[in-house]
Homo-oligomer: A and B are copies of this chain.
Amino acid sequence: MELSRLVIASNRGPVSWRRRPDGGLEARRGGGGLVASLGPLLKDSGATWLAAAMSDEDREGAASGVESEGFRFRALDIDPATYRMAYDVVANSTLWFLHHHLWDLPRRPRFDRHWRRAWDGYRLYNETFAAALADDAPEDGVVLVQDYHLSLVAPALAAKRPDLRLVHFHHTPFCSPAWLEVLPGPVAQELLAGLAAYDACGFHSPRWEAAFTACCESRMPVGPPTFVAPLPPAAANLLEVADGDDCGRELRRLEEQVAGRKLIVRVDRMEPSKNILRGFLAYDELLDQRPELREKVVFSAYCYPSREGLADYLGYHSEVEAMVANVNARWATADWTPILLHTDDNFARSVAALRRYDVLLVNPVRDGMNLVALEGPVVNSRHGVVVLSRQAGAWDRMADSTIGVDPFDVSGTAEAIGAAIDLDAAARRDLSTQAAEVASSRPLSAWLADQLAAAGESL
Give the distance to chain B from A17, nearest Cβ to Cβ, in Å.
35
Q: Measured between alpha carbons, how far is A446 from B181 in the docked complex, in Å?
A: 31
- Residues in B whose Cβ lies below 8 Å from that of A289: 113
Contact B176 A278 (CB under 8 A): no
Query: Does chain B have a CB within 8 A of A185?
Result: yes
- Residue of B110, B111, B411 touching A116 (CB-CB under 8 A): B411
Q: Measured between alpha carbons, how far is A124 from B316 in the docked complex, in Å?
A: 37
Which residue on B lies nearest to A112, using beta carbons? B410
- Residue of B105, B365, B408 touching A111 (CB-CB under 8 A): B408
Query: Does chain B have a CB within 8 A of A409?
Result: yes
Count residues on chain A whose CB falls below 8 Å from chain B CBs: 43
Which residue on B lies nearest to A404, using beta carbons? B185
Q: Measured between alpha carbons, how far is A111 from B282 in the docked complex, in Å?
A: 10
Query: Does chain B have a CB within 8 A of A281?
Result: yes
Query: Does chain B have a CB within 8 A of A396?
Result: no
Contact A104 B101 (CB under 8 A): no
- Residues in B whose Cβ lies below 8 Å from that of A104: 103-104, 107
- Residue of B106, B109, B111, B273 touching A316 (CB-CB under 8 A): B106
- Residues in B whose Cβ lies below 8 Å from that of A107: 104, 277, 319
Contact B412 A184 (CB under 8 A): yes
Query: CB-CB contacts of A266-305 with B at 8 A, as 1s and 0s?
Result: 0000001101011001000100110000000000000000
Query: Does chain B have a CB within 8 A of A447?
Result: no
Give the distance to chain B from A366, nearest Cβ to Cβ, in Å.
8
Identify the 4 closest CB pairs spanning chains A and B, nearest first: A104-B104, A176-B178, A106-B272, A112-B410
